[in-house]
Amino acid sequence: MENRKGNWHGKKQIQMMIYLGIVLLIGGSLISGCTNTILPAIADKYQWDVGALRVMSGVAIMFCVGGTFVFGMVSKRKGPKFVVVLTLILTAAVAVVYGSASNYYLFVACILANGFLGGGYFQVGFSALAANWWPTKKGIVLGYVTCGIVLNDVLWQPFIPLAFQKIGVGATLNIVAVFIAIVAVIGVFFLKDTPEAAGEYPDGDPAFASTAKSVVDEIAVYKSPFTPKKLLTSPTTWAIGISMGCMYGAGMTFVASVVPRILSLGYDYSFASAVLIVAGLAGLAGSILYGILDQKIGTKNTCVVYAALCILITICCLFHGISVWFIWLSAIFFFASNGAMGNLIPSIVATKYGRWDYSAAFAVIGAMSSFGSALGVLCTGLFTNYNVMYLMDIGLFIAALLILLKLNGTLIGRPN
C-alpha cells in the first residue's frame, strides 16, 4: 500500500460507490417509491383502499426507525457489511411474498417488513461504510452515491407500472427479488467494512498507511463511548435529529404525493410520469451539486442552504393550480434538493462523530430522522388539502433552519 498514490476515487473506491448507489436504489424503490407504484397497483388489483395502504407505508418508515436503531447496534458488533448482506437477503425473500400476497394483512406485513429491513441496508449499512471509507471526503462521495436514491424517480417510478401492466405485479417483483439477491451475494465477496481491510486507505490518503494494520484490528473490537443513553441526553443529538427529521419529513410529503397531486389537478398519468422523469434527472444533478457544496462550505452550512431553498420551493407548491409552470418548477427543484437529503444526514453525523463513533451515533440520530420521514409519508394519507400540507412543510423547514443556525459543526467523536 505504501507505494501507491492516494486517490479518493480509485478503482476500489469507485466499485464501492457503485455498489452503495445500487443499495440505495433498492431501498428508495421499495420503501418510499412504493407509494406511487406498488401500492396503487395492488390496491386496484384487489380493490383495497390505496389511502389506507399509503398510511401503512408511513407506518413502515416508523418500522424503519426501529430497524435503524436495531441494526445500528448490530453494526457496532458485527460491522456494516454483515448488516447490508443480511438485510438484503431478507428483503429479497420479502419481495417474493410482496408480489404474490392476496391477503391484505400479509401484504401489510410485507410493507412493514420492508421498512424495518431498510433500516439495515438503506440507513445504517450504506452510511457506515461510506463514513469508514471516506471520513473527510464524505460530502462529495455521498453526493454521487445518493444518486441511487434519485434513480428511483427515473427508473422505478415511471417504468415499474409499465412492467406491472406487461407481465404482472408478481412476476415483476420476482425479478426484483432475484436482482436484490444477486446484489447481496456480490456483497458477501466484495464488501469490506474498512478500506484498510481492502488494502486501501481512508479517503485514499497514504498518510493513513502507518496505522492501517492497527485500525483493522482495533475497529473490530472498538466500543464507542457514545451509548444510546449518552446520545439521548445530548443537546447535539436532538438538534441534529430534529432538524434533519423536519427537513426529511417535509421533503417526503412532496415526493410521496407528487403523482396524486398532479392527477388531482386534472392532468393524466403520462404527464405525471414525464414530471417524475425530468425531476428525477434534476435530482441526480442536485445530489451531486449538494455533495460538492458540502465539501466546499461544510455540512452544516450546506444544510442551512438546503432548508432556506426548500422554504422558497414549498411556497411555489401553493400555486400549482394557477399554472403548470409552478408544477414543473417545484418538482424540479424539490427533487434536486430532496436527492441530497440522503447524503446530508449521514454526512452531518460523520462530521460530528467521525468514523469511529459513527455507527453508535447514527443508530440514534438516523432513527430520529427516519421518524421524521415516516411522519411525512404518513401525512400524505391524512391530509385531504394539499395546500394545508405545504403550509405545514414551510413551518417544518423554518424550524429546521433556526435549529441549524445554532448548531456547532465541530467534531466531538474520536478523531478519524
Specify if 414 maps to a domain: no
- Contacts by 100-108, CB closer than 8 A, 24 or more apart: 100/170, 100/173, 102/46, 104/46, 104/48, 107/42, 107/48, 108/53, 108/56
Query: What confidence tier does 57 reach under pLDDT thresholds 50, 70, 90?
Result: confident
Asked if 289 and 337 count as a contact pair (C-beta separation under 8 A), the reply is: no
pLDDT of residue 51: 79
**Residue 217, in any domain of the structure:** yes
Which residues does 352 contact at the CB level (< 8 Å), separation at least 6?
A: 236, 240, 361, 409, 410, 411, 412, 413
Residue 233 has a pLDDT of 93
In the numeric block, which cell numbers belong to residue 226? 457514545
- The fraction of the chain above a pLDDT of 70, given in percent, is 93
* Average pLDDT for the chain: 85
pLDDT band of residue 103 (cuts 50, 70, 90) is very high
Q: Are 350 and 358 in contact (CB under 8 A)?
A: yes
Give yes or no for residue 159 having a pLDDT over 70.
Answer: yes
List CB contacts of 320: < 8 A, sequence separation 6 or more: 261, 265, 326, 327, 330, 386
Taking the C-alpha atoms of residue 272 and residue 295, their distance in angstroms, rounded to an integer, is: 34
Burial 383-402 (b: 16+ CB within 10 A, else e): eeebeebbebbbebbbbbbe
The answer to whether 144 and 371 have CB atoms below 8 angstroms apart is: no
CB contact set of 356 (below 8 Å; sequence gap of 6+): 219, 222, 224, 413, 414, 416
Please give the pLDDT value at position 1: 46
pLDDT value at 184 more than 60: yes
Domain-embedded: residue 1: no
Residues 200-240: tens digit of each pLDDT:
877 776 766 555 555 555 665 677 888 889 999 999 999 99
Q: Which backbone phi and psi does 17 adopt, to 5 degrees?
A: -60, -45
Q: Tell me which residue range forms the domain holding 392.
A: 11-406
Higher pLDDT, 325 or 194: 325
**416 found inside a domain:** no
Residue 411 falls within a domain, yes or no?
Answer: no
Q: What is the pLDDT of residues 5-53, one digit of tens each?
A: 556 677 888 999 999 999 999 998 888 767 667 888 888 888 998 878 8
What pLDDT is stored for residue 331 in this prediction? 92
Specify the number of domains making up the chain. 1
The count of other CB atoms within 10 Å of the CB of residue 162 is: 11
Quickly list DSSP for 356-410. TSHHHHHHHHHHHHHHHHHHHHHHHHH-S-HHHHHHHHHHHHHHHHHHHHH---S
Q: What percent of the chain has pLDDT above 90?
A: 37
Whole-number pLDDT of residue 336: 82
- Say how far apart CA 216 and CA 133 lie, in whole Å: 12
Cβ contact 328:400 at 8 Å = no
The CATH number of residue 355's host domain is: 1.20.1250.20
pTM (2 decimals)? 0.77
**Is residue 174 pLDDT above 90, yes or no?**
yes
Minimum mean pLDDT among 219-223, 255-259, 345-349, 383-387: which range?
Answer: 219-223
Q: Answer whether residue 415 is part of any domain.
A: no
C-alpha cell at 333: 427543484
Amino acid letter, 348? I
- In-domain check, residue 276: yes
165 part of a folded domain: yes
